[in-house]
Structure 1
Amino acid sequence: MSGAVLALLTCTGTVRAEDGYALWMRYTPLESALVADGRRPLPEVQAPDQTATQRAARTELVRGLAGLPGNALLAQSTVATLPALVLGTPQSSTLIAPLRKEMDSLGEEGYLLRRTRMQGRDVVLVAAPRDIGVLYGVFHLLRLLQTGASLDALALRESPRMRLRVLNHWDNLDGHVERGYAGRSLWDWQTLPEWHDPRYTDYARANASVGINGTVLNNVNASAQSLAPDYLDKAATLADMFRPYGIRVYLSVRFSAPIELGGLNAADPLDADVQRWWQHKADEIYARIPDFGGFLVKANSEGQPGPQDYGRSHAEGANLLADALAPHGGVVMWRAFVYAHDVPADRATQAYTEFAGLDGAFRPNVILQVKNGPIDFQPREPFHPLFGAMPRTPLMMEVQITKEYLGFATHLVYLGPLYEEVLQSRTHARGQRATVAQSLTGMAGVANIGTDRTWSGSHFDPANWYAFGRLAWNPYQSARDIAADWAAMTFSPDPEVVQPIVGMMMDSREAAVNYMTPLGLHHLMARGHHYGPGPWVDGGPRADWTSVYYHRADRDGIGFDRTARGSNAVGQYAPEVAARYGDLARVPEPLLLWFHHVPWDHRMASGRTLWDELVGRYSQGVRQVKAMQATWERLEGRVDAQRHAQVTAFLRIQLREAQWWRDASVAYFQSVSGRPLPAGEIAPPHPLAWYQHLQFPSAPGDGR
C-alpha cells in the first residue's frame, strides 16, 4: 500500500466527534485490531484511480479501513493472512476482466462482492460493469464490515430494482426550506459557484452509500429564477461535485417561466414560441450540465400555474417539457398531487380523476410522481389508487422523509415501516403488477436535510433518509433489517445496543399514529404550520384545508364515508381491493375511519366500542413513547454522552407533545360525541377552549 494511502488512513482514523455529522458512515477505530507495535494490520488495496468515481471508491474504502467496529476482516488477522481487496471493472482491472460475461446482467449500476482465490491469493472482489457500481459495492462492503458480518463465504450480486432514486429538496433560493426542520438550505447560493463547500461532497457520499442517484435542488413551489443563467452556473457546480458519486442534478421548474424569464405573453404548451423557448432552455442547461437529469413539475395545484390555465391537459403540459429534454436524454417528473380551486366532494379522489384517463398519453420520458397516499403524507393512508391503475405510464412513488405531519424533527418516528407498508400493498389480487412496488419505475423522497450538524435535525431522523435509499434500491427489503443496519452503523454493532434501538424504531411509527390519528383518522393538525393537534379546525378559504372536512365527527359517529354510499373513493381501486375497503366487516381497522363513517358504539375487534377504542388508542400512543424513553434510558453509557443527551431531551419533547395530542383530541371528540370517558381514562387537564386558543406563530418549516 502506498505512503499516501497510509497517510490517509492515519488522518481519517484519529478524530471522532459524536455530533451526528458522520451519519451512518462512522468508521470508528477497532482497538482489538491493533497489533503489538500500535499499528493496525491493513489489507492490500488494488484499485484504479484514473477517474473521479474510481478515486471516490478508493478513498472511501481506505477511509473505512482506518477502523471498523466488529470488523470481521481486520480483527484477529495479521498482515500475512489478510485478503487483498480488488476493485474495478473489466476495463480498469485485469483481475476483473475475466468476469465480464458474468456481469452482463448486472446493468449499469450493479456490482458483485465475492471472496475467492486468484493467482494463489485470498482476495475480496468488488467488481462491476461500470465505475459507479464499484462505488456502490464499496459502500456495501463497508456496511458488512461496520455491522460485523462474516466475509468467509461472501458472494453477493446486487442491482437496483428501480431506475430513479431521487431526493426532492423543497429549498427556496433565499435559503428557507419549506417543511424543513434541520436549519437552512444546504445550498449556499450566495457563495456558489466559486466556493465548493466540502459538505456538498459529504452529502454526495451519504447518498451514494444507499444508492440514491438523483437530487432535485429546489422547491416544487418553484421560482422561475432557478432557470436563470446565474443559477444554472451554480447548479452546474453542484452537478460537477455530485457526478463522481453517480448523482444527477434535477431542477423544479415553474410552468410559467417562459412569461417570467422569456418575456412571452403566455405559457400555452401548444404555442410554438413556448415550445421553442423550452427547447432553447434545455439546450442552455445541457451545455452547462451534460448529464442533467431533467425537470420536476408541480402544476395546477395549490395555486401553481400549469397547462390547465390554457385549457390543456396534464399530458400536454408534461409532453411540452419532455420534447425539449428528449434529445438530451432528460426526463420529466410530473407530480400528480393536484386539487382544483373548486373543492370536490372528496379531495382524495381528485388525482385519480384527473390522471387515470391520461394513461398512455404521456411521452416515454415522462414519469408520473404520485404521493404514497391520496391526501398528503399523513401518518397513515391507504395506498394511492393511481398505483396499479396506469399500466402504460411510468410511475414513481413520492414519500416524505421530512416529518411534516409526524412531529417534525423532535419526534422519534422511523418511517421504514410506513414505506414498507405502502410498497407491499396489493393493488390487485394477482398479476405481474400486483403490488405498489411492482408498479414503480422510481421513488422520490422529500428530504429533511439542512445545515444542522445532524443533517436532518435529530440523531434519529437520518434513519429515514437511510431507509428511503435502501428501499428505493430494493423495495422488497425488510424495514426491520434496514433499521438494524442503521443502528449498528450509527451507534454500535453491539447486539445489546442494536436490539433495543431497533425495537424503539419499529414501534415508533405506530405510536405516532396512535397519539395523532388512530383508526384511519387523518388531517387533524393545526392550520398552516401543521404543528400540533387541531381536530376543531374549520372555516377559512377551503373546506379541504380543515380537519372537520376529513373526520366528519358528529353526535352519531365519526369518519369519512368513502364507500359507494358516500364519495365512492373505493371505486377508484381494483374491484377486489374496493370490496375489502368498502365493507365495514372487512376493512382493516387501521383504515376504518378513512373509508367509513362509523357509529360511536360500533363494536371493535377488541370488544370495545369505537369510542372506547379511540380514546384507548390515543392513550396507548402516550404509553408507547414512555416505553421508548425507558428503553433509551437503559442505553446510557452504551451510547456516547453527547448524542444520548440530545435524544433524551427530544424524547421528553415527544412525550409532552404526545400527551398534548391525546388530551386535545380526546377533549374535542368528547365534546362532539357527548360520551363519558372509558373507565380508567384520565380526563384532559384543561378544557377544550384552552387547547383551541394555543398559538404558535414561530413554528418551524412552514410553507411560503
Structure 2
Amino acid sequence: MLRLVLLTTLLLLDSPESVIAENGFDGWLRYAPVHCGKSCQRLLPSRIVTLNGTGNNSIDTATEELQLGLGKIVGKEIPIERSDCDSRSSILVATADQYRQACDSSLDLSVLDEDGFWLRTSDGTVQILGQNERGALYGAFEYLSLLSQGNFTNVDYRTNPHASIRWVNQWDNMDGSIERGYAGPSIFFSNGQIVEDLSRVKQYARLLSSIRINGVVVNNVNANATLLTDQNMDGLARIADVFRPYGIQIGVSLNFASPDTLGGLGTYDPLDSAVITWWGNVTDRLYKRVPDMLGYLVKASSEGQPGPDTYNRTLSQGANLFARALQPHGGILMFRTFVYDHHINESIWTNDRANAQVEFFKELDGQFEDNVILQIKFGPIDFQVREPVSPLFANLYHTNMAIELQVTQEYLGQQDHLVYLPPLWKTILDFDLRVDHKPSLVRDIVSGQRFDRQLGGWAAVVNVGTNTTWLGHHLAMSNLYAYGRLAWSPTEDSQGVLEDWIRLTFGLDRRVLETITDMSMASWPMYENYTGNLGIQTLTDIIYTHYGPSPASQDNNGWGQWTRADHDTIGMDRTVKNGTGNAGQYPAEVAQMYENIESTPDDLLLWFHHVPYKHRLHSGKTVIQHFYDAHYAGAETAQHLVSQWDSLEGRIDQERFDHVRKRLVYQAGHSIVWRDAINNFYWNMSEIADEKGRVGHHPWRMEAESMELYGYEAYAVNPFESASGYHAIVTTSNSTSGTAETRVEAPSGKYDIAVNYYDMYGGQSQWTIYVNDRIVGSWQGDSEETLSHTPSIYLDGHSATRITFEKVDVHQGDVLKIVGVPDGVEPAPLDYVALLPPGIAD
C-alpha cells in the first residue's frame, strides 16, 4: 500500500493582492501568480518528463497544462522532454504501466483503481502516476491546484474515484436554446446544427477534466431526432475530438420516437424488428464517427415524451432496446427514472407523484441489461429546496443506479440567487437507508458498492452557456466545481471544497476566503427559509417558470407537487396509516421514522404529514409561526450578503465584483418579495396573526395605488400575494408616461428609499424618482438582458423586484414623485415605495 502523507501549509494573505479585470472565462483555472520567493523557485522542477508519449492524448494534455500552469503561477518556463526515468528536478507524468515497464517493475501500483492517480513531490522532484492516461491528467491538475492555492509542501498520496460514472447532462437544444439555461445560448448547437467554433467547448473540457468528470451528454433529454442526421453526426465527431484529449467521452440523448419521426417507419415499438434494426444501424453509424462514445441517455414515457408505454411495453423493454444496440460497442445506456403521470387528480387523497418512481421501476428490478444504469433524481419530486432521499435507491437490488443532481438552479434561484448546493446534496449522500437493517448510505448505493453492482455513479444537469461566467453568476460556479469533487469523493467536507474553489477563483486573500465562505455556507439555509421550509417544497410557480413565489400554484394542478393547504391545515399525508403510503416505500427503520409524526424531523414534517397550522414543532413553535419567522430570517440574511460583499471591494477585480454585487442586490430585494408573498398567502388562508406583528404591517411603506396618480391606474395583481396591498399601478396607456406622487409624513432625516416595481419581459420601461424637483435616481427595466432567470410577461412574483437609493435627505412635507415611461408591453408598473431609516430592511 502507498503511504498517505499530505501536508497542507497554505499561503494566505491578510492584505489584498493586486487585482486585474477578469470576466470568469477561466473559472477556477486562472493560474493566478503566487509569489513563493527565490528559495521556493529553486526547489521547483526545471523540466517536465514523459515516457513513451504517443501524441494527442491525455498525457500530452497533462504536460501542456503543467507547462502553462507553472508559467503563469510561478513564472517559470519549463520545457517538455521525452526521457527515461531520471526524474531529478523534474515533473514525471506517466501511467502506472509505463512507469513499471520503464522505471521500476517492483513498484506496486495495484492500489490505483481506474482513473486513480498517485502524486508525490519531494524537493523539486514530482511524480504523477495515473492508473491510465486520464488519471495522469487528473494528477497534473491536482498538482497545479496545490500550487495555485499556495501549497508548496511535499505531498505523497494516492486517490481513487468513488464511482466509475461521473457525467454531466447538458440540456442544450438543437436551435441553440437551453432548457433551464441561465447563461446565454448553447456552446454546442445553433440553428439545428453543431457550431463551427468549438473553442468554448475546449475551455469547458478543461474545466470538467480538472474536476475529474469523465463523460458529457451534449444535448437535452427532451431530445430532437435531427441530432441523428449524417451532418450532425459528423458534428458530434468534432465535439468528441475536442473532449477526448481531456479524458472526457461524449454521449447523446435520444428521442424514443426517432424511428418514426426521423426514420419514417411508422412505429417506434421497441419489440418491432424494424425498430431494433433501425437503432442498430444508427448506433453503428455513430460509433463509426465516435469510436469511444460513452453511450446514450434516454428520457421516455415522462412529461409527454414518447416511450414504450405507447405499445404497452415495459420500461425495461424500452431501455433494453438501446442497451442491446450499444453492447457490441461497449456503450452504456443511462435511463432516467423521472417517469410519472402529470395529470394527477389531487382530489383523490391517496394520489401522490412521490410514489411514481418506485411504482414504475421496483417490479422491473433485475430485468435490465447489465449495461443499463437507472438515473434517479435525488428526491422523489424534482430538485426541490429540500426533499427526502428517493426511496427508489432502496428498492433496486439487481439494477445499476446513478444519482441525478442539478447544478443548474432550476427551482433554486436560477443563478440570480446565491445558493451553494453541496450542503443540500450531502443530506442525501450521507443518508443511511438501512436496507435490510444494514448500513446503506446513499453514496455507497449509487457507486454500486452496497449491492455489488459493477456500474454506478453520478450525473448532474449543468447548463453552461456562452456567457463568460458560464452559469450566469460567478459564485454559481462553486456548485459545478463541488459537484466534480463530490462525485470523485463524496465524503469530502462541503466547506473544505468551497474554500479550495474560492482560493482558485478569487486568490489567497484571507478576508475574501472567510467572507465568501460565510456567505455561501449560509446561502442554502437562507434560501430554504425565504422560499419553502418544513419540507413543504420550494413554493414557486410550478406551472410557469419555476422561479418566483406562487404558493397557490402548488395545489389544484396535475403535476403532483402539492401542499394540500386549506384554511386549517397544511402538508401531504404520506403515511401508510392515513395517507398516500409513500413512507412505506422506505426500508423498515426509515419508514417507521417517517410514519410517526413524533420521530419525523421538523425539516420534513410537511412532506410526510398533514397537520394544523397550530401544530407545535419540536422547537416549540407552531407551524405557521415558524413560517413567519423563517421567511423573515431568510430575507434578513439575504440583506447581509450585500454588505458582506461590499467589504471585499478592492480585494476582487472590479468587473467580477460589480457583476456579483448586482446579483446580490437583486437577491436581497427579491428575498423580500418571497418573504411577503409566502407570509401574506398563508396569513390570508389561515387567518392566524404573526405573534410578532410583522406580517401585513409595513409602517415604512407608501402603497403606489394610494398615491396621487396622473396617467397611472390601480391594477389588481394576480396572484394577489405578489403585491404589497395586493395592488400595483400601471400606466393607463402604453404610449404615455405616468406619475405617482405623495407628501412625506415621516420625520426629516436620511433615508434609504426602496421602490418595488415589476420588470416584465417584452419591454424596458424607465422610471425616475424625485424628491420635490430633485432627481434622486433613474433606472430601466432591463433585467431580461442583465440577469439570468427566465423572465415573466406578467405582474407576478417572477417579475417583482426592487431598487434602493441610499442615504437620501428627505424632509417632512417633501413631495416624493415617480415618473414611469412604459415601453413595449411593459406599462411601467409600480408596487410601493418604502422610506427606510438606517438599518431597516423593510
**Do they superpose with TM above 0.5?**
yes
The offset of 1:423, in angstroms, is 0.6
Match of residue 185 from structure 2: 184
Match 1:47 to one of 46, 50, 67: 50
Question: Equivalent residue of 1:391, what SS?
Answer: coil
Tell me whether 1:691 sits opposite 2:722 in the alignment.
yes
Mapped contact 1:113–1:141 kept (Cα < 8 A):
yes
Is 1:402 matched up with 2:415?
Answer: no
Q: Is this contact kept in 2: 1:192–1:237, CA < 8 A?
A: no
Q: Which amino acid aligns with 2:254?
A: V
| Per-residue deviation, 1:197 | 2.5
Structure 1 segment 275-290 matched on structure 2, within 5 A: 275-290=276-291
How far did residue 633 of structure 1 move? 1.8
2:131 corresponds to 1:129: yes
Say whether 1:459 aligns with 2:481. Answer: no
Alpha-carbon separation, structure 2, partners of 1:690 and 1:219? 35
| Aligned with 1:18 (options 22, 40, 53) | 22
Q: Is the 8 A contact 1:70 1:147 kept in 2?
A: no
In the aligned structure 1, how far is the partner of 2:146 from the partner of 2:353? 45
Preserved contact between residue 432 and residue 442 of structure 2 (Cα < 8 Å): yes
State the match for 1:425 in structure 2: 431
Question: In the superposition, relative to structure 1, how do residues 46 and 615 fare at CA in structure 2: closer, same or farther (>3 Å)?
Answer: same
State how far apart, in whole Å, the 1-side matches of 2:591 and 2:29 are.
Answer: 44
**Secondary structure at the residue paired with 2:175?**
coil
Q: Does the aligned pair in 1 maintain the 2:638–2:667 contact within 8 Å? A: yes
Q: 1:42 to 1:84 in 2, by over 3 A?
A: closer
Q: Give the Cα separation in 2 of the matches to 1:124 and 1:660.
A: 54
Give the total of aligned pairs.
Answer: 672
Q: Alpha-carbon deviation of 1:370? A: 0.5
Mapped pair 1:68 → 2:84: no
Which residue of structure 1 aligns with residue 550 of structure 2? Answer: 534
Q: Which amino acid aligns with 2:553?
A: V
Label 1:525 to 1:156 Cα distance change in 2 as closer, same or farther (>3 A): same
The percentage of counterpart residues that share the same residue type is 38
For residues 525 and 277 of structure 1, the distance between their equivalents in structure 2, rounded to whole angstroms, comes to: 42
Correspondences of 1:153-168 after superposition (within 5 Å): 154-168=155-169
Distance 1:482 1:15, change over 3 A: closer
Alignment partners' CA distance in 2, 1:506 and 1:310 = 49
Partner letter of residue 224 of structure 2?
S
Deviations 1:115-156 (A, max 9, x none): 24xxxx85111012321111000111111112223432x111
For the residues of structure 1 that align with 2:759 and 2:595, how far apart are their CA atoms? 38
Alpha-carbon distance between aligned partners in 1 of 2:291 and 2:791, rounded to the nearest angstrom? 35
Kept in 1: contact 2:683–2:695 (CA 8 A): no
Gaps of 5+ in 1: 1-13, 74-81
Deviation of 1:67 (Å): 3.6
2:539/2:554 contact within 8 Å kept: no
Hey, what's the Cα distance between the residues in 1 that align with 2:654 and 2:110? Answer: 49
Quote how far apart the aligned CAs of 1:51 are.
2.5
Aligned to 1:114: 120
Q: Distance in 2 between matches of 1:594 and 1:649?
A: 35
Cα distance between partner residues in 1 of 2:519 and 2:499: 11
Corresponding residue of 1:4: none
What is the aligned partner in structure 2 of residue 8 from structure 1?
A: none
Partner of 2:93: 87
What CA distance in whole angstroms lies between the structure 1 residues aligned with 2:618 and 2:260?
Answer: 58
Deviation at 1:83, TM superposition (A): 4.2
| Aligned match of 2:624 | 611
Deviation at 1:621, TM superposition (A): 0.6
Of the structure 1 ranges 526-535 and 190-199, higher mean CA displacement relative to structure 2 is found in 190-199
Letter aligned with residue 58 of structure 1: T
- SS in structure 2 at match of 1:124: strand
For residues 131 and 253 of structure 1, the distance between their equivalents in structure 2, rounded to whole angstroms, comes to 30
Q: Counterpart of 1:577 in 2: which secondary structure?
A: helix
TM-score (norm 1): 0.90
Question: Which amino acid in 1 is paired with 2:140?
Answer: V
Given that 2:548 and 2:674 are in contact with CA atoms closer than 8 Å, whether structure 1 keeps it comes out as: yes
Q: How many angstroms apart in 2 are the aligned matches of 1:195 and 1:176?
A: 16
Matched, 1:557 2:569: yes
Structure 1 segment 108-507 matched on structure 2, within 5 A: 108-116=114-122, 122-152=124-154, 154-189=155-190, 195-340=196-341, 342-343=343-344, 345-428=351-434, 434-440=440-446, 441-507=456-522
Q: Is the 8 A contact 1:26 1:489 kept in 2?
A: yes
**1:638-677 C-alpha deviation (Å, 9 max, x unpaired):** 2222211111111111111111111001111111101112
1:454-473 Cα offsets, whole Å, 9 max, x none, are: 11101111111111111111
**Against the structure 1 CA distance between its residues 159 and 138, is the aligned structure 2 distance closer, same or farther, given a 3 Å change threshold?**
same
Name the CA shift for 1:69/1:487 in 2 (closer, same or farther; >3 Å).
Answer: farther
Q: Point out the more displaced range, 83-92 or 579-588.
A: 83-92
**Taking structure 1 as reference, are residues 679 and 341 closer, same or farther at Cα in structure 2, changes over 3 Å only?**
closer
AA of the residue aligned to 1:19: N
Task: Kindly name which structure, 1 or 2, has the bigger radius of gyration based on alpha carbons.
Answer: 2
Deviations 1:163-200 (A, max 9, x none): 11111111100000000000001114469768342221
Aligned to 1:518, the other structure's residue is in SS state coil
Cα RMSD (Å) of the superposition?
2.8
Q: Greater helix percent: which structure?
A: 1
**Corresponding residue of 2:644:** 631
Which amino acid in 1 is paired with 2:34? L
Distance 1:220 1:232 in 2: 17
How far did 1:624 drift? 1.5
Out of 591, 605, 625, the position equivalent to 2:604 is 591
Equivalent in the alignment of 2:7: none
Corresponding residue SS for 1:676: coil
Does the 8 Å contact 1:90/1:96 carry over to 2?
A: no
Shift, 1:569, TM fit: 0.6
Letter aligned with residue 551 of structure 1: T
In the aligned structure 1, how far is the partner of 2:50 from the partner of 2:226? Answer: 43
CA deviation after TM superposition for structure 1 residue 485, in Å: 0.5
CA–CA distance in structure 2, aligned partners of residues 358 and 584 of structure 1: 32
Higher strand share: 2
Instruction: Decide whether aligned partners of structure 1 residues 273 and 100 sit closer, same or farther in structure 2, where only a CA change above 3 A counts.
Output: farther
The one-letter amino acid of 1:383's match is: V
Q: In the alignment, does 2:668 pair up with 1:662?
A: no
Q: The residue matched to 1:137 in structure 2 has which SS?
A: helix
